[in-house]
Amino acid sequence: MSAVAPGAADGRRSRGGLAWRSRLARHGTLIALVALLLVNVLFTPNFLHLQTLFVNISQVATIAIVAVGMTLVIATGGIDLSVGAVMALAGALAPPIFGSDFAVAHPALGLVAAIGLPLLVAMACGAFNGVMISVLRVQPIIATLILFISGRGIAQVLTNGNLQTFSNPAFSYLGTGRVFGLPFQGWLALGIAAAAFWVVTRTIHGRHLLAVGGNERAAELSGVPVRRVKIGVYMVCAFLSGIAGLVVVAINSASDAARNGQLMELDAIAAAVVGGALLQGGRAPVFGALLGAVIIQLVKYTLLANGIEDEVALIAKAAIIVAAVALQQGRRE
Amino acid sequence: MSASTTPGPGTGPGGFDLDLRSALRGSGQTVGVFVALVALITFGVLRYENFGGAYNIASFLNYNAMFILISIGMCLVIITGGIDLSVGSVAAFSSVCAAYLSPYGIQVALPGGVLAGVAFGAINAFVILVLRVPPFIATLATLLGAKGGSLVLSGAETIAVDWGSNFTKLGMEKAFDTVPWSILICAVVAVGAWVMLERTSLGRTLLAIGGGEEASVLMGLRVGRAKAFAYLFSGGCAGLAGVFLASGFGAGQPLEGVGWELSAIASVVVGGTLLTGGLGSITATVLGALLLGLVFNILNFENGLGTISLSAYWQQVIRGGFLFLVILLQMHVARRRLPRRSPLREDTDP
C-alpha cells in the first residue's frame, strides 16, 4: 500500500526535517503527556486533587484494557472494530445472570457465572473474528465489521433495548472497589498490561505474534502456527473487551447496551497508535498503549474540564489520531 | 495484489475485457446480484399487496437514492484499494449545511451541500496522499471530525429547512411529473460514474492503481491525481446524499449517517468489488445497494403483515448477518472458480 510513496516523497524532504520528525515521533508520546499535564496543572481548576486522579483512573482503565487487546491485534497486522460491540454484549449478559434465582441462592457461584459466562461469549465472538480472518482469509476490517454491526444489535435484542439496573455490591467491586486507595480497575488494567508485556517479550507466543505481524508468509514458512496465533489474538482482544464491558457495567450499576462501549474501537485504536503500534504489524508496545490511553483520556478530560463541548473533543481526537499516524510514518523510514 | 498484470476494465456491460479474473467473477457476480434482486422483487409482489405500487416504489427509490450515491463513491475509492469511512458523517454535515442554505433556494443549497462534502473529500485526500496516513485511519478521523463539525455547526439540534423556498422540491417532488428529482439526479451520477470508470483514462487509472499501485507509478500513470479524485468524488457523493437527506426529511440532521459507511461497503461487496482494489463495477454496486435496501423493505412489509415482529434492534443483527452471508457466498464462488484467489482475501502488504 505505502511501498511506493516513501521513496517518492523522501527525496524531496530535507534530512534535517526527517531527523526532527523522527525524534518527535520517538518521544512524541511522552512529550504530549508532559505537555498535557502541564496545561492541566496551569489551567484546569482542581486538577491536583485526589478526586481528579480517581475519576481519570476509573475512566482510563477501560480504554487501557481494550487498547492492550487492540495493540496485540494490530501487532499481527490486523484490526478489531468489534470491541465496542463485544463490550455491550458482555455487559448486557452479566446482570440477568447474577439476577437469576440460581445466583440469588448461591451468591458466590452466581458471581463467578456472571463474570465467566459473558467472558466466554466474548471469547466466542473473538473466535468468530479469528476464524473469519485466518481461515476464510477475510480482511480484518470487513470480518470484524460483521460483529461491529450486529453485536450491539444482539445485545439490544437480548435486553429489549432496556436499561438494566441492579444492586450487587460484590459485582460492583469491579468498577467501584479500591485497592491501596486507588480504583480497582486501574490495578486491573496495569495487571493486564504487565501480563501482556510478559507474554509478548518472554514467551514463544509473543515471538509468534510479532513474527506473524512482521512477515506472515515468512512466519508460516518457518513453522509458526499462523492460524492459531491469529485466532488466539482476536480471542484475547475480545476477552479483554468483555472485561472492559463488565467494568463499565459495574461502574454504572446498570447495563445500557446502546451506550456501553460506544466508539470504543476508535479510542482503543487511537490509544494503540499513539502508544506506538504500527498499523502494518510487527510491533506490540503494550505499555505504550497504556500511555496512549492515558493521553486520550487526558485530552478528553482537559477539554471537558475547561468547558469545551464534547463535539469539539471529537475533532481533537480526530486530529490526534491523524497526527500520531502521520508521525509514525516518519519514524518508519 | 500481483503487480504483473493490470486488471481489466471491470465488469460493466459491454466492457471489453481480457482479464480472466474479472470476466469470470465480476460479471458472474453482477448476474447473481441481478437474479437475487429479481427473485426478491417477485417474492415481494406476490406476497404483499402494495409492494409493487407506485407509492412504495417511489418512496423506496427516494430513500435509497442516498445509499446508492454513497455506495457509488465508496466503490470508486475501494477500487483504488482504499476505503472511505467518513461518508455517513460527511452526509450529516452537508445536510446541516444545506438546511442552513435552504432559504436561498435549491440553486445555492445543492451546490453548497455538495461542496461541503467535497471539502471533506479534499481533507481525506490531503491526509492520505500528503501525510501518507492509511486510508482507514485517515477517513476514521474525518468521520469523527465531520461528526464533531456538524454537531458544533448545528448546536446538536436538527435544523429545519426553509419550506418557503424551492429546496424541498428536490426530495419530495417529481421531475416532469414522473420521476422524483432525487432518483433522476442519482441516476445521472451513476451513469456519469459508469462512463468515467469504463470509458475514460481516469477510470483505467483508478482500476490500475487498485491492481498494483507500484506498477501504476512505474507506468507513469498519475496515481496521486486519480486517488485524490476518488476521495473527492466520494466526498461529493456523500455531500449530495446529505442534501437529499435534508430535502427529503425537511431538516438538516447532524446525528444521521451512523452506519452509512457500513451499508455502502456492504453494497459494494455485494456487488462483487474486490476490497483489495483493482476490480469493480458501478452497475453491480448500484444493484447491490438496491438489494440491500430491498431486504429491509421486505422486512418492513413482513412486519406490517404481523407474521413477524422485529424491533429496530433486529435490523442491525440482520444487516450484520447479511454481510456475513455475502462474504461466505463470495468466498464460495471464488474458491470454486479460482482456487488461489478469493475476492476478500487479505492483501499482503509488501
pLDDT in tens, B124-163: 999 999 988 888 888 988 988 898 899 889 888 888 888 8
C-alpha cell, B113: 451541500
Q: Alpha carbon of A176 to those of A171, A246, B117: distances in Å?
A: 9, 12, 44
Residue of A nearest to B347 (CA): A139
Label the pairing between strands A182-183 and B174-175. Answer: unpaired
Nearest to A137 among B81, B142, B342 (CB): B342
Residue of B nearest to A315 (CA): B145
Greatest Cα pair distance, chain B, in angstroms, is 60
Residue of B nearest to A151 (CA): B317
For the A15-332 domain, the top CATH level (class) is mainly alpha
Task: Name A164's bridge partners.
Answer: A255
Cα atoms in the 13 Å half-sphere on the side-chain side of A183: 24
Give the torsion sign (CA, B244, B248, B251, B253).
Answer: negative
Nearest to B320 among A149, A309, A322 (CB): A149
Pick the most confident of A100-109, A136-145, A179-188, B69-78.
Answer: B69-78
Does B22 score more than 60 pLDDT?
Answer: no
What are the chain A neighbours of B80 within 8 Å (beta carbons)? none
What are the chain B neighbours of A312 within 8 Å (beta carbons)? 148, 152
Nearest to A266 among B140, B313, B331 (CB): B140
Among B77, B86, B81, B68, which residue's Cα sits nearest to residue B259?
B86
What mean pLDDT, rounded, does chain A reach? Answer: 84
**Interchain contact A18–B (C-beta under 8 A):** no
What are the chain A neighbours of B321 within 8 Å (beta carbons)? 146, 150
Q: How far is B166 from chain A (nearest CA, A)?
A: 32
Residue of B nearest to A134 (CA): B346
The amino acid that residue A77 corresponds to is: G
Pick the most confident of A18-22, A214-218, A320-324, B346-350.
Answer: A214-218
The pLDDT value recorded for residue B275 is 64
Does B175 score more than 50 pLDDT?
Answer: yes
Burial zone of B348 (CB within 10 Å; 0-12 exposed, 13-18 middle, 19+ buried): exposed
Does B289 score more than 60 pLDDT?
Answer: yes
- Domain locations along chain A: 15-332
pLDDT digits (tens, 9 = 90+) for B337-350: 444 444 444 444 33
pLDDT digits (tens, 9 = 90+) for A55-102: 888 889 999 999 999 999 999 999 999 999 999 999 999 988 888 888
CB contact under 8 A, A138 and B346: yes
**Residue B63 and residue B57: Cα distance in Å, rounded?**
10
The pLDDT value recorded for residue B336 is 52
**Interchain contact A278–B (C-beta under 8 A):** no
Question: End-to-end CA distance of chain B, in Å?
Answer: 9
Among A312, A303, A274, which residue's Cα sits nearest to residue A291?
A274
Nearest to B319 among A132, A150, A161 (CB): A150
C-alpha cell, A233: 489474538
What are the chain B neighbours of A156 within 8 Å (beta carbons)? 311, 313, 316
What are the chain A neighbours of B127 within 8 Å (beta carbons)? 322, 326
What are the chain A neighbours of B83 within 8 Å (beta carbons)? 141
CB contact under 8 A, B324 and A6: no
pLDDT digits (tens, 9 = 90+) for B40-86: 888 888 888 888 888 888 888 888 999 999 999 999 999 888 889 99
Q: Best mutation site among B1, B84, B132 for testing chain A: the one with the most A CBs within 10 Å?
A: B132
pTM assigned to the model? 0.80
**Residue B241 and residue B174: Cα distance in Å, rounded?**
17
**Residue A190 and residue A202: Cα distance in Å, rounded?**
18
Q: Are B109 and B245 in contact (CB under 8 A)?
A: no
What are the chain B neighbours of A279 within 8 Å (beta carbons)? 134, 136-137
What are the chain A neighbours of B313 within 8 Å (beta carbons)? 153, 156-157, 160-161
**Residue B19 and residue B9: Cα distance in Å, rounded?**
8
Q: How far is A312 from chain B (nearest CA, A)?
A: 6
Cell 460527511, residue? B90
The pLDDT value recorded for residue B46 is 87
Q: Are A112 and B283 in contact (CB under 8 A)?
A: no
Cα atoms in the 13 Å half-sphere on the side-chain side of A235: 14
CB contact under 8 A, A133 and B346: yes
Helix (H) or strand (E) holding B97: helix B87-101
Cell 511501498, residue? A3
Residue B204: count other Cβ atoms within 10 Å of its Cβ. Answer: 20
pLDDT digits (tens, 9 = 90+) for A195-236: 999 999 999 999 999 999 888 888 888 888 999 999 999 999
- Which of helix, strand or coil describes residue B87? helix
Label the pairing between strands A254-255 and B174-175. Answer: unpaired
Q: Which residues have CB under 8 Å from B232's CB, separation 6+?
A: B118, B121, B122, B125
Label the pairing between strands A254-255 and B179-180. Answer: unpaired
